[in-house]
Chain A
């Protein structure tokens, strides 16, 4: 990177774009090939559009109704983001409490594990009874599905510190807060982000499932509507939009990871950065 110092900033941007394009070119090619094969296949074998519409038709129908889809996308996105944020805010302090206190570990942790074992999707109908058809049951399901992976990964992060590091810390006479701030928290960060990413991937599923159960708006609702009317091109369009929402949530978390713990991301060699693609 020695040449970077004397090149204008704009060129740096262009080069980064080029690097990015080179990085994703294989994925790009495979997607293009997929769509082309799909388009040709459907037309050659004259598959009825209600079974499998060609990608061109999916696109065409989507361009006609995109505003409608967008309105419902916004509803689902809100459920995902709010539920996820609440899960993060609750689960990380809880993980800290469990990692630091034997009493909390013995009382709260078995309960959390039990809650995880209960199939949350199965209790979604119960939420409808309790909280009605609105925003709350969706938010709760997103929260419940996101909560557990973050708690478990964070506990592992806070606990996995080795004995000698703690001995070194104690030999300095530092207090609990200082040791937490300088050692335990940064040490736990990579694990916490692993949990955050798993939860991010689960959160969009949770929102859609909650909408399936009972709702009058959101992408899950829209999907059932189009499905019922056999508007298969729009079913496809909705699924694609939903996937894009999921990807955005996931990559937003990964971007935050890059900003918060660049030291970890730069060391990672397994290419987990492309994990979702």
Chain B
């Protein structure tokens, strides 16, 4: 497995051997990571001395308020942005340019409007110079898993937002990466679609057990999906707490009633209350009265 490939290199991660192959060597180590954005006279410290370890095959959710630098953290892990100070390593290798042995899903589906669903999925492998015909079958099979069988020839503008995001997820999985980075992938979807996508994503993940870094601002979503939830403070982003989630899988719909769901949700909510990210309803009027 090769790491830290630069965009100019014809990088191509070793072909995976099976659903569980290649998961080792994807442990992520983030140490003393800071990121400062400079724009003219002003400086914005997006991340401040973040330390984090994510085990191979682990599903980690990063939850925090808007602007806490969680998306920046994901881009630094992916090697898409250079760190100001500190280091990121994946599988023991320093990330110094775009890490290519991964799949990424963004908040927007960013499908190419001139390609149909199947070809949008296959963009991933074409860009990696992989053109074996088996990939077409794999793409069709994955599309079927996410409920898009029969939509292979449709164009993005013919699909709903949820369907487009499913295509984006399949595109991130087609080359069977051992690492999956997701930046608020369900953020633009309505609540019902979001719940279904969450259930479907867990199912996909249970079948192949990638190392997942899942960025979200939804506490529920983080707890329902992740093995561990990294709670981030408001800007400049730091790791406030790491909460282990001990819910049996598959979690499906029932997990919401489980006490091991409500406990961590309450705990994280408390953290955000303490940090002023959230205000309780009773406090609001009281503050207004004084």
Contact assessment for B80 and A174 in the assembled complex, using a CB-CB cutoff below 8 Å: no
Contact assessment for B104 and A168 in the assembled complex, using a CB-CB cutoff below 8 Å: yes
- Known: A171-B104, A172-B100. Is A186-B127 also a contact (CB below 8 A)? no
Contact assessment for A171 and B9 in the assembled complex, using a CB-CB cutoff below 8 Å: no
- Known: A164-B110, A167-B75, A267-B157. Is A174-B128 also a contact (CB below 8 A)? yes
Give the residues in chain A near B128, CB-CB below 8 Å: 172-174
Q: Chain A contact residues (Cβ within 8 angstroms of B): what range?
A: 20 to 34
Contact assessment for B8 and A170 in the assembled complex, using a CB-CB cutoff below 8 Å: no
- Known: A171-B98, A171-B99, A172-B127. Is A164-B114 also a contact (CB below 8 A)? no
Contact assessment for B114 and A263 in the assembled complex, using a CB-CB cutoff below 8 Å: yes
Write the nearest CB–CB distance from B78 to chain A, whole angstroms: 6
* B170, CB-defined interface residue at 8 Å: no
B12 to chain A: closest residue by CB: A173
* B126, CB-defined interface residue at 8 Å: yes
Give the residues in chain A near B102, CB-CB below 8 Å: 171
B75 to chain A: closest residue by CB: A167
Contact assessment for A182 and B100 in the assembled complex, using a CB-CB cutoff below 8 Å: no
Q: Chain B contact residues (Cβ within 8 angstroms of A): what range?
A: 20 to 34
Q: In the docked arrangement, what's the CA distance between A179 and B9, Å?
A: 12
* B136, CB-defined interface residue at 8 Å: no
* B11, CB-defined interface residue at 8 Å: yes
Contact assessment for B127 and A167 in the assembled complex, using a CB-CB cutoff below 8 Å: no
* B145, CB-defined interface residue at 8 Å: no
> Main SS of the interface on chain A?
helix
Within 8 A of A (CB), among B42-83: 75, 78, 80
Write the nearest CB–CB distance from A162 to chain B, whole angstroms: 7
A167 to chain B: closest residue by CB: B80
* A244, CB-defined interface residue at 8 Å: no
Contact assessment for A183 and B112 in the assembled complex, using a CB-CB cutoff below 8 Å: yes
Contact assessment for B8 and A182 in the assembled complex, using a CB-CB cutoff below 8 Å: no
Q: In the docked arrangement, what's the CA distance between A267 and B127, Å?
A: 26
Interface residues of B (CB under 8 A from A): 5, 7-12, 75, 78, 80, 98-100, 102, 104, 106, 108, 110, 112-114, 123-124, 126-128, 155, 157
| Sample of 20 more A-B contacts, CB < 8 Å, known A169-B7, A171-B99, A173-B10 | A164-B108, A167-B80, A168-B106, A168-B110, A169-B127, A170-B7, A170-B80, A171-B78, A171-B80, A171-B98, A171-B100, A172-B128, A173-B11, A173-B127, A174-B128, A175-B7, A176-B8, A182-B123, A187-B112, A264-B113
